[in-house]
Amino acid sequence: MKREDLPFLVDLKGRVIVVTGAGGVICSELAKALGACGAKVAYVDWNLEAAQAKVAEANKEGYFAEAFKCNVLSKEDLAECHRQINAKLGRVDILINGAGGNSPKATTTDEYLGEKVGDDVIDFFGLKQEGVEWVFNLNFLGTFLTTQEFAKDMLNRKGCSILNISSMNAFTPLTKIPAYSAAKAGITNFTEWLAVYFAKSGIRVNAIAPGFFSTIQNKELLFNKDGTPTARTGKILAATPMGRFGEVKELIGATLFLCNESGASFITGVTLPIDGGFSSYSGV
C-alpha cells in the first residue's frame, strides 16, 4: 500500500489493533492501512491460511502484522486468541469487528411473493432456520462475543475504540436477504447501545455501512462473462447517485478517521454510510 492510497496521515504507532475477518477482501485492506499508519495489527480469522497470506503481504511492505486463528462464535477460541495477542502484541487498543457475511440458505430467489423466477424458487416460506441462524450468529453474535472479550483491555484508558461493520441493508433492507438485512440493522442498533454503555469508560464505538463494492467474490453476480452488467447491477447503479460501485480502498478514510482519537474524539454511536449516495436517494 502506497502513501498516496492513504487518504490522510494518522499516527497509530504502537497501537494494538484487532481486526476480525482480516483474511477477507475488505478487512485485509483496512488492516493493511492500519499497519501503514504504524499499528501492530492482529489479523484474526477462522481461515488461518487466508489471514497468513494477507499478513505476508503486509509484512512484505514493512508493516507489523500477525495472524491468529479464531472462530468469533466460540468463547473458548476468543479467550485463547486474546491471550496470544496480549502475549505477542500487548494490550488491545482498537477492535474492528469485520467477520460477517450472508448465506444462500437465508436468501430468497424472488423479490416479490409469486414472482416467476425459474423452476427452483426459494421464497420466504422456503428459507431454512439454520440459514437464518447462521447469518444472525456470524454477523450479530460474532460482534457481540468478540466485543465482550476484547473491550476488557480498553476500559478506562485513553484513545480506545471499536468499529463495527454494518451495511446499507441496515437502513433499508435489500430484497432477497432478510436475515442479513436484519442482522446488520442489529449491528447499527448495537453500535448505539455500546456507545452509550461505554461512554464513561473511555471507549468510543462507531460503525461504517459500506454500500455496493465490486470485489472478486461478487464479480459474477454483478457482471456477465462478457463484462456487461447483470440486471441486478443495473438496478444498483440506477439507485446509486454517483453511478458506480465503490472501491474497497474508499473505506479506508472513514476507518482511519473513526478509529483514531485525534480527529474523532467526540464521535461515538454513529454508523457512517459509504455508499455513493445510495442511502440518501429515494429513486426520484
Distance in Å, CB of 59 to ligand NAD, minimum: 18
Catalytic site residue 180?
A: yes
Q: Pick from 1, 25, 48, 141: which binds ligand NAD (CB under 6 A)?
A: 25
How far is the C-alpha of 174 from the C-alpha of 40, rounded, in Å?
36
Judged by CB under 6 A, does residue 178 bind ligand NAD? no
100 binding ligand NAD? (CB under 6 A): yes
Encoded one letter per residue, x for contact with ligand NAD by CB under 6 A and - for no contact, window 108-147 reads: ------------------------------x---x-----
Cα distances from 187 to residues 79, 156, 168, 191, 252, in angstroms, run: 22, 24, 11, 6, 20
Alpha helices in the chain (DSSP H): 25-36, 48-60, 75-88, 129-136, 142-150, 178-197, 219-222, 231-238, 252-259, 261-264
Q: How far are the Cα atoms of 74, 97, 126, 163, 239 from residue 255, in angstroms, in the given order?
A: 26, 12, 38, 8, 24
Single out the residue of 1, 6, 48, 73 in contact with ligand NAD (rule: CB under 6 A).
73
d(CA 207, CA 187): 8
As beta bridge partners, residue 204 has 161
Q: Exactly one of 43, 63, 180, 197 is catalytic; which is it? A: 180
Interaction between residue 273 and ligand NAD (CB under 6 A): no
Number of residues interacting with ligand NAD: please give it, by CB under 6 A: 27
* Residue linked to cell 476480525: 20
Q: Tell which positions 186-215 bind ligand NAD, by CB under 6 A.
A: 210, 213, 215
Instruction: Name the residues that contact ligand NAD, by CB under 6 A.
Output: 20-21, 23-27, 45-47, 50, 70-73, 98-101, 138, 142, 165, 167, 210, 213, 215, 217
What are the catalytic residues? 180
